Amino acid sequence: MGAYMFGYLQIDKAELKVREYEAYKSVYCGLCRQLGKDYSVFARFALSYDCTFYAITLMSLKRSCTGFRDGRCRFNPLKKCKYALCEDDCYSKAAALTVISVYYKLCDDINDSGFFRALAVRMIKPFFSHCRKKAAKRYPELDTIVRDMLDSQIELEKKDKPSIDEAAHPTACMLAEIMKAEGRNESEARVLYECGYHLGRWVYLMDAADDYEKDKKHGSFNPFMTIETDDLRGYMNALLSQSLARAYDAYNLLDIRDFKGILDNMMLFGFPLKQNSVLTGPQGGKK
């Protein structure tokens, strides 16, 4: 079970200023538009909060946002929206990571699912296979990183009762390598690797916690299955909070200027809020 960048890296809307929320939406809509431009209208259904976080982080590090433009939603032309403008390839890279992640998630689902679900996945896989080939041609390093994560995860799950640290390592390394590649110098690259590693570990453990009951019911792999404790949710919460704290420590070393209010909100409020909702509230909510 790889986590692939799906749905946990969210904002806490209630704690954002109105202008910051509008800026966040403008990046979300900008990434949606880029997915349609690069990979067709159907690729827009793969839009995720996690890849929006990636796009905002890239635009902040590169300081590539040049302003905002009024427009209309590509799904609903009657709805007005704003688009954040970017002079670099941040949107294109985030869109590529989106379709590459979806493709390898589908491959993983085919291996892990029952006959009928696997059959449904096989029906949509050819579309994302085409998208992934196009994305991999433009950003081969992203494709290699995600593919290596999947290969490592498959090998790891063949082991007898791997530890939680072992299970989370492939996803942690995936996001660490993706973030590290954006460093403008060796020092920044090291900090981004550290931030990405612990954030990737958190995403993986969030996915495992979110899917725990389902995996237990179906006998699927889940690293928390081997834990013997009277307070499993408390144990999950402690591990997740530790990963978030270490990611935030590294994040604080970065020179974040553009979208700082949004990124601060995500690290300090959005991610903990999502963690709390997974551990104490209704399960799910990935996007």
- Tell me what pLDDT residue 75 has: 74
Residue 67 DSSP label = E
pLDDT at 285 over 50: no
In this structure, the dihedral spanned by the alpha carbons of residues 65, 98, 205 and 155, taken in order and rounded to 10 degrees, is -140
- Regarding beta strands 80-86 and 65-72, do their DSSP bridges make them parallel or antiparallel, or are they unpaired? antiparallel
> Does residue 257 contact residue 184 with C-beta atoms inside 8 Å?
no
What is the mean pLDDT of the segment spanning 241-247? Answer: 97
Residue-wise pLDDT tens digits, 119-137: 767 777 888 889 999 999 9
> Does residue 161 contact residue 226 with C-beta atoms inside 8 Å?
yes
150's enclosing H/E stretch is helix 140-157
Structure tokens at 154: 């498959």
Q: What are phi and psi of 59, to 5 degrees?
A: -65, -30
- Tell me what pLDDT residue 5 has: 54
Residue 32 CB partners (closer than 8 Å, separation 6+): 44, 47, 74, 75
How crowded is the C-beta side of 104, counted as CA atoms within 13 Å?
28
Residue-wise pLDDT tens digits, 57-101: 999 999 999 999 998 887 777 788 899 999 899 999 999 999 999
User: Of 4, 93, 26, 3, which is closest to residue 262 (Cα–Cα)?
Assistant: 26
pLDDT at 224 over 80: yes
